[in-house]
Amino acid sequence: MTDTKDTRPHMPLGLAQRGYTGVIQQLSARQAGSALSDIELESRLIELGFVEGARVEVLHEGLVGRDPIAVRVDSITIAVRRREAMAIIVA
Amino acid sequence: MELPLLHLALVGTPNSGKTSLFNALTGSRQKVANYPGVTVERKEGFFVTPLGRQVSVVDLPGTYSLRGRSPDEEITRDFVLGKASGETVPDLVLCVADSTNLRLTIRLLLELKRTGRPMVLVLNMFDIAARRGITVDVERLAKELGLPVVTSIAVRKGGTADLLKLTDEISAKLAAEAEDNSWRALSVAELRATQREADRIIADCVSLPARPDTWTARIDAVVLHPVGGLVVLALILFVMFQAVFAWAQPAMDLLKSGFDMLGEFVQATLPDGLLQSFLQNGVIAGVGSVIVFLPQIILIFLFILLLEDFGYMARAAFLMDRIMGGAGLHGRAFIPLLSSFACAIPGIMATRVIDNKRDRLTTILIAPLMTCSARIPVYTLIISAFIPARDVWGFINLQGLVMFGLYAAGIVSALAVSFLIKFFMLRDYAPAPFMLELPDYKMPRLKSIVIGIYTRAKMFLVRAGTTIFSMMVLIWFLASFPQPPAGATEPAIDFSLAAIIGKALEPLLAPVGFNWQIAVALIPGMAAREVAVAALGTVYAIEGGKEAAEQIGQVLATKWSLATALSMLAWYIFAPQCASTLAVIRRETGSWAWMAVTFTYMLVLAYAASLVTYNVAVALGAG
Ligand SMILES: Nc1nc2c(ncn2[C@@H]2O[C@H](COP(=O)(O)OP(=O)(O)OP(=O)(O)O)[C@@H](O)[C@H]2O)c(=O)[nH]1
Ligand SMILES: [Mg+2]
C-alpha cells in the first residue's frame, strides 16, 4: 500500500470529492481568494477547529457547483464553501 | 447582613445549551432551538441558590472567540470584558460546553481565562455524551484547566443540581479573587497554540468512542443529498402550507361558529342601538374575525418550531447557500428569512449573526417580504372567498396551492430585490464566506414546543386584544358617525367619516381595483396586517345592517370582483403594513433612512404589483 498519510499528495480541501478523508497539513489563506483578509480567514478556520493534525472527511456537497461542502472535523460537522476550503491543505 | 447579588454570565460556543441552562436556572422561557445563533441579545434572570444566595444570571449570544465579528458576538465580548455601558462585570463566568464536542469550547475557555474573571466549566448535554459512550475525567480536567468543572443536563429536571451546589461553594470564597484582565485579540499563532493546548488537554481527559451519531449521518444522507435534499426542502414547505389550509379548517370552523353564536346572542338580548352595534360589528365582527385564524397561526408556528428543534434549519441554510448566493446573500441569511415566516421581527433580530454589514442590511431589507403569519388571515379570507376548494390532480387542495404560490411569490421577490440591490449598489462586492456548524439532530422536546406555541398564541391574542381591538374601536367609530339624517334611504355608513375618508382616497386606489371600503381598511392596516381583515369585517357588517350575521368571506365574494381580490393578494405580498416591523428596522439599522427606504420600496412594489395584477385580470375577463 502506497496510500499512507506521508506519501499522499498535498491538496486543498476545496478540491476534495465527497467521501474524501484526510488530515490537515497546513492552513494557507493566501490560496483561497476569499473576501476575508488572510488573517481573518485563518482565524475563523482555526476557531471552527480546522488546525493542523485534525482529521477531516467531506460528507456532503451542494447541488450547484458541488458547493458548499459539509466537512466532518474531528467530532463536529461544518459547512463551508469550496472557496474558503481552498485555504485548508490536506493529505 | 444580606450578601450582595451574585452576578453570573453564561458564555460558550453557539448551540451548547446556554439558554436551556438559563431557563432551567431561572424558570424563564427564552427561545431555545437546535441551531447555532438562536440567542442574539443579552437577557438577565434571577434565582436563589439552595443556600439562599440571590443570583443574577445573564444569558449571552454564543461565540467561538472574544473577537466580536458580528453584532451578536460583540454583545458577548463587551459584556465579558465589562465594556458594555452601565453593566457590572460578572463575578463568575459559567463557560458552557456541549460535552459531545469539547474542542472548540476548551479553546474558547483558554482564551476566556485571560480575562482574569473567575470561571467554571459546565459540561452540558452530559446525557448525550454518556449515551454515546464519551467519558470525561472531570477531576483531571479541572486540574489541567485550573478551574472547577461540573456536569449538567440543562433539559432534565434536577440536571443542574451539581451546578447550583458548586455556585454556593464558590460564592462563599469568591470576593477578592479577581485577577487582572490580560485579554487582547489573539494572533493567528496564539489561536493555533491555544487550539493545540485544548486538543492536548482533551486527549488526556476525554475518551471518545469512534462512534459518531449514526442517526444524524443517516438522516443527512437523505436530507443533504444534492438533489434529494432540495426535493425534501420543497416538500416540507409545501406540506407546511397545505397543512395551514387543510388541517386548521375544523378548528377554525368551530371558532367561527362560536363567534357567530355570540353575535346572534348579542343581537337577541341587547336592544337595537349603539351598544349592540359596537359589540356586534366592532368587537365580534372585527376582533373575532381575526381570532378565528388562531389555529392556522398555531400550525405554522408548530411547523417552524419542529424544524428548529430538530436541527433542520442549519441544513436548510446549507442547501440554500448557492441559490441564495445567486441573489447576493449567503446561506446563513436563510435562517432569519425562514424565521420571518412566523414574524419578520425575530427574523430581523436574527440577522445579528451575519457578520458582513452589507449582507446583514440586505437581509433586513428583504425580511419583511417573507410571508409572515400576520398575512395568513388576509390571504385565507380572500382565498376561501374566491378560490374554489377543489382538489387538483386528486390530492392537492387548490386553495392550499394558491397559498403556497403566495409564499413562493414572497420568497422569489425577496431574492429578486436582494439581487437588484447587489446588482445596482454593490457591484464590486466579493461574496462573504459561509461557515456554519451543522449540529447533530435532536428529538424535538414536547415541553419546549408547547411553551413556544403557548407564547406565540398568547402574543397573537394579546395583539388582538390591544392593537387590533383599539383600531377596531376607531374604525367602528369612524364607520358609525356621524349618524344618517332622519329619513335617509342609503345605508347609514354612507354618511360616516369612514366613507368620507375612504371615498377621498378612492381615486388613488381605483387604478388597482380597490373600492372605498378597502381604502378604509388599509389605513389602520398599517398598524398591523390583520387589522385589515377586522376592518373589512366591521365596515361590511355596519353596511350590511341586519343581515350582518353573514360571514365576511361570503360578503366579499358578492361585493368584490375576482380581479379586485387578486389585486388585494398582490398588494399584501409587498405592502409595508406593519408598524412594529418598521420600528425594529429602525432600531437594528440605527437609521431612520433605512426604515424610510424599506417603507417606500415596499409601497411602490405593492402598488405596481396590484396595478399589473388588476389590469391583467380585468383584461382576462375577471373584472
Ligand atoms: N439532551 C440535551 N439537550 C440539550 C441540553 N441542553 C440543551 N439541549 C438542546 O440543545 C439545543 C441548543 O440549546 P440552546 O439552549 O438553544 O443553546 P444556546 O447555547 O443557547 O445556543 P445559542 O443561543 O445559539 O448560542 C436545544 O435543542 C436544546 O434542547 C442537555 O443538557 N441535554
Ligand atoms: Mg441561546
Confidence bin at B512 (pLDDT 50/70/90): very high
Q: Domain residues of chain B, as ranges?
A: 6-207, 247-292+445-560
User: What's the per-residue H, E or C state across B213-241?
Assistant: CHHHHHHHHHHCCCCHHHHHHHHHHHHHH
List the CATH code of the domain at B6-207.
3.40.50.300
CB B105, CB B98: distance < 8 Å? yes
Over residues A7-36, mean pLDDT: 88
Would you say the CB of residue B570 lies under 6 angstroms from ligand 1? Answer: no
| C-alpha cell read off for A55 | 482529521
- Could you tell me the end-to-end alpha-carbon distance of chain A, in angstroms, rounded to an integer? 16
- How many Cβ atoms sit within 10 Å of the Cβ of residue A40? 17
Contacts of A78 in chain B (CB under 8 A): 435-438
Q: At what angle do helices B592-619 and B398-425 cross, to 10 degrees?
A: 130
| C-alpha cell read off for B368 | 419583511
CA angle B50, B53, B56 (to 5 degrees): 110
In degrees and rounded to multiples of 5, residue B46 shows phi and psi of -130, 150
Confidence bin at A74 (pLDDT 50/70/90): confident
Question: Beta partners for B48?
Answer: B54
A window 40-69, beta carbon within 8 A of B:
41-44, 46-49, 51-53, 59-68
Rounded CA separation B484/B496 (Å): 8
In degrees and rounded to multiples of 5, residue B313 shows phi and psi of -55, -45
Confidence bin at B160 (pLDDT 50/70/90): very high
Would you say the CB of residue B32 lies under 6 angstroms from ligand 1? Answer: yes
Confidence bin at B143 (pLDDT 50/70/90): very high
CB contact under 8 A, A59 and B224: yes
Best probe residue, ligand 1, of B21, B28, B32 (max atoms within 8 Å of C-beta): B32
Collect all residues with Cβ–Cβ distance below 8 Å to B586 and sequence separation of at least 6. B592, B594, B595
pLDDT, tens digit, for every residue of B66-81?
988 889 999 999 999 8
Q: Which of A67, A72, A76 lies closest to B322 in CB terms? A: A67
| CB-side neighbour CA atoms (13 Å) of A80 | 28
pTM listed for this prediction:
0.88
Residue position matching grid coordinates 478523508 = A21
User: So what's the ipTM on this one?
Assistant: 0.92
Contacts of B321 in chain A (CB under 8 A): 62, 67-68, 79, 81
Q: Domain residues of chain A, as ranges?
A: 11-90
Rounded CA separation A72/A63 (Å): 19
What's domain A11-90's superfamily in CATH? Ferrous iron transport protein A (FeoA) (2.30.30.90)
pLDDT, tens digit, for every residue of B76-108?
999 998 876 666 788 899 999 999 989 999 999
pLDDT at residue number B549: 46
pLDDT, tens digit, for every residue of B338-395?
888 888 888 999 999 888 888 889 999 999 999 888 888 888 889 888 888 787 777 7
By alpha-carbon position, which residue is closest to atom 3 of ligand 1?
Answer: B125
Phi and psi based region of residue B188 (left: phi greater than 0; alpha: psi -120 to 50; beta: remaining): alpha
Residue position matching grid coordinates 353575535 = B263
CB B320, CB B334: distance < 8 Å? yes
Q: Which of B195, B432, B435 lies closest to A80 in CB terms? A: B435
Q: Could you tell me the sign of the dihedral formed by the alpha carbons of B147, B153, B155, B159, in that order?
A: negative
Report strand pairing: A76-80 vs B435-437: antiparallel
Q: What is the DSSP letter of B69?
A: -
In degrees and rounded to multiples of 5, residue B8 shows phi and psi of -110, 150
